[in-house]
Amino acid sequence: MTTPARVLIIEDEKQIRRFVRVAVEEEGCQVTEAETMAQGLVQAGVRQPDLLILDLGLPDGNGIDLIHNLRGWSDVPILILSARSRENDKIDALDAGADDYLIKPFSVGELRARVRALLRRRSPTSESASPVIEFGRVVVDLSRRLVTREGETMHLTPIEYRLLSVLVGHPGKVLTQRNLLREIWGPSYSESSHYLRVYVSHLRQKLEDDPTQPEYFLTETGVGYRFQP
Amino acid sequence: MPIDTSFGEENVSAARRIALTVAACAGVTLLATPLLGYLDLANIVMLFLLTVLVIAVKLGRNAAVLASVLSVLCFDVFFVPPRFSLAVSNIQYLVTFVVMLATALTTTHFTSVLRQRAQEAVKREQRTLALYQLARQLAGAMTVGQVLDIAGGFVLSQLNARTAVLVPDDDHKTLDPVQFHGGLPIEVHLARIAFESGELVRNDEVRAMGYASLYFPLKASLRVRGVLAVAFVEHADGPRDETLPLLEALASLVAVALERLHYVEVAQTADLKMQTERLRSSILSALSHDLRTPLTVMVGLADSLFLVKPALPPAALETAQALHEHAERLAGLVGNLLDMARLNAGDVILRREWQPLEEVVGASIKLLGTALDGHPVNTALDAALPLLEFDSVLIERVLCNLLENAAKYSPAQTPIALHARQVGSVVEVSLLDHGPGFPGHRRNELFNMFVRGQAESGRPGTGLGLAICKAIIEAHGGTIEADDRPGGGALVRFTLPVGNPPSVEEEPS
């Protein structure tokens, strides 16, 4: 990589900032820190970071508002740091457009893996350019609406295909149930989450080796789903 | 003032009324006799009719009938020739008598009907006024006791009767008398019938023994809120017909007042519960945040020692690793304690959704990852399992705790089995391992807090994991039990009720 990626950390606890900084720098990134939401928003505008690491429990305001604000003018990947008790905050943040989350306490290894995955999406070569997505023994050709497994064409229903294309279109990103329901069925279905679960189950049965222990279409319990290529 | 007494009529005794009537007729006869030469007989008849009218107004129907007959007799004896004899010289006077009697009786009839109407109207007005007052007082009542006092006072003053109110207990099984006015005896079976049927029950036989004879259901908009029992003491002949509508009106006013108080109480309880809930969850979440922040720092800083350049000596890195592990374990314990506090503090708020069981099984295995310590998990879920309604985060917690336990106590590399099948109206999930199994005699104590299988075991733990599982499963209406695996090892089995899964239409493909 010629230019190092710029990462902005918005976190009020100094010691957490310290080790997050060390871990992210280890990935070869340039780090900027902000202690408050107000500072963070200014820095995000000035620095134009490639990745934003945001603690949801900031003292001077709601991190979700920051995400809404940011999503108005930037699609920078956002990684949320959250305490487990704030389940709804986490879902709201992901609904608002955050990409992934880590539950405190988390290890440096996990953090580095998430940072790497989110930064990988930044480089245009890996994504969007090619309409063909491969994972395991499955090949999805979005241009031809063709799904094969071990060279054999898989028959998907229209909803299964739509679900698959939304999931593979956001590799690594946590998609909340609300997001997926809205994308696939439109706003009127937002209450019938069991439909979503049933179709994800169909997709796993057709594309996963062991549908009870999936490798690619992962459940984020209580939150939604993630496609992990 | 009891409304049964009215006007002057009943204050005048019957004998006195007869005497007055006779005196009036005699008076008119005496008055008219000197006028005999000046007035036609027809006009003297008019004087008698006037007298009958006045008596009808003043002394009522019976006196007026007597006056009618007396008037005809006096007229015949003292005025119609031959005088001082009942005999009549001219036969046409018979027509006069008949017309006179008929006119007098007709006057009597209409006058008394009018009198009665007027009395009824006055009574009705008094009652309406009393009911208005009652409604106003009931609207201001703040307690059930006040409502009953007001109602009891109303019945006592208006009907001179005694009342008691019976209300059902919380589970609607028995009726309890809330209040006695002077120890009014109540036939509870009759009250029960009124309560259950929602109809008035009247039994005049028990009245003779001093029991309340009328039982009005207190019908409010949603349900019958109790029974109003009424006993008439003063009237030996029981309640009059017109008092029933009054009592029915009273019963519905009391019912509405009781219902209002009930909803006030419900609203207050709900409000209090909400405040308690909010306080509890904010305390827990603050505690959780305050404990987790230093733990996050410890885990993260220990990890970052591995990134120090140049690399630290191996002994230092070993220390860093130990720091990391212990901080993580501490975080796990704190998590367990906070969860237990949340689950134990009363009603668990479940975010139940219909979903396939396999989803949460897969997520749990994935989440545990390295914590499974190389134990493979063999899942065998029946293909035809229905959708289940559960809180996925909590059931994931149960599965993680059970899988972690199994991994912790099983010999290295041995597989853990996870089976699920439908048995009648529940889905049964079993976890089987190849560990030493549970100590037989205290097997089910393990689900209590802070109880561990092997107290001196070197393995870390607080004995909260299974207690958390039990709290979660029971909140879902299921059961959890420990057993021995046939052929050695431990078996934990829990159930989740099937319920009524929503249908999912197959998509036309």
Q: Which residue has the higher pLDDT, B381 or B160?
A: B381
Strand ranges (E), A35-130: 51-55, 78-82, 100-103
- Does B182 map to a domain? yes
What is the distance in angstroms between the Cα of A62 and the nearest Cα belonging to chain B? Answer: 15
B149 in the same domain as B130: no
> Using CA atoms, how far apart are residues B311 and B316, in angstroms rounded to an integer?
10
Is B438 or A16 the better-scoring residue by pLDDT?
Answer: A16
The tens digit of pLDDT for each residue in A59-79 reads 887 888 889 989 988 889 999
Joined tokens for residue B13? 């005794």
pLDDT averaged over every residue in chain B: 83
Q: What is the Cα–Cα distance from B88 to B79, expressed in whole angstroms?
A: 10
- B315 and B402 in one domain? no
Domain boundary among B106, B135, B164: B135
Same domain, residue pair B408 and B386: yes
- The answer as to whether B429 is a domain residue is yes
In a domain? residue B272? no
- pLDDT category of residue B467 using cuts at 50, 70 and 90: confident
Side chain identity at B107, as an amino acid letter? T
Q: Tell me which chain B residues have a C-beta less than 8 angstroms from the C-beta of A19.
A: 297, 300-301, 303-304
d(CA B8, CA B148) in angstroms, rounded, equals 35
Contact by Cβ (8 Å): B166, B176: yes
Q: Based on the domain organization, do B82 and B215 belong to the same domain?
A: no
One domain for residues B381 and B330? no
Whether B8 is covered by a domain: the verdict is: no
**pLDDT higher at B271 or B487:** B271
For residues B157 and B131, state if they share a domain.
no
Say whether A57 and B289 touch across the interface (CB within 8 A).
yes
Taking alpha carbons only, the member of A206, A217, A216, A210 closest to residue B377 is: A210
Task: Flag if B504 and A195 touch (Cβ within 8 Å).
Answer: yes
In one letter, which amino acid is B246?
Answer: L
A157-193: pLDDT as tens digits: 999 999 999 999 888 889 998 889 888 888 776 567 8
Query: Which residue reads 């390295």 in tokens?
Result: B370
Q: Please answer whether residues A224 and A94 qualify as being in contact, where contact means their C-beta atoms are separated by less than 8 angstroms.
A: yes
The rounded distance, in Å, linking the Cα atoms of B502 and B387 is 8
Please write the tens of the pLDDT for every residue from B292-323: 888 899 999 999 898 888 888 999 999 999 99
Is residue B427 scored above 90 in pLDDT? yes
Could you give the CA distance from residue B203 to residue B348 in angstroms, rounded to a whole number?
Answer: 50
Q: Measure in Å the smallest separation between the Cα of A23 and chain B Cα atoms.
A: 7
- Residue A124: per-residue pLDDT: 54
Print the domain residue range for B290: 280-345
Residues of A in Cβ contact (< 8 Å) with B353? 193-194, 197
Answer for the pair B40, B92: CB distance below 8 angstroms, yes or no.
no
Q: Domains in chain B: how many in total?
A: 4
Which tens digit of pLDDT belongs to each residue from A81-105? 987 666 778 888 999 999 999 988 8
Position B272 pLDDT exceeds 60: yes
Flag whether the pTM goes above 0.90.
no
- pLDDT over 90 at B388, yes or no: yes
Tell me which residue in B331, B355, B358 faces A194 most closely, judged by beta carbons: B355
Over 90: is that where the pLDDT of B93 sits? Answer: no
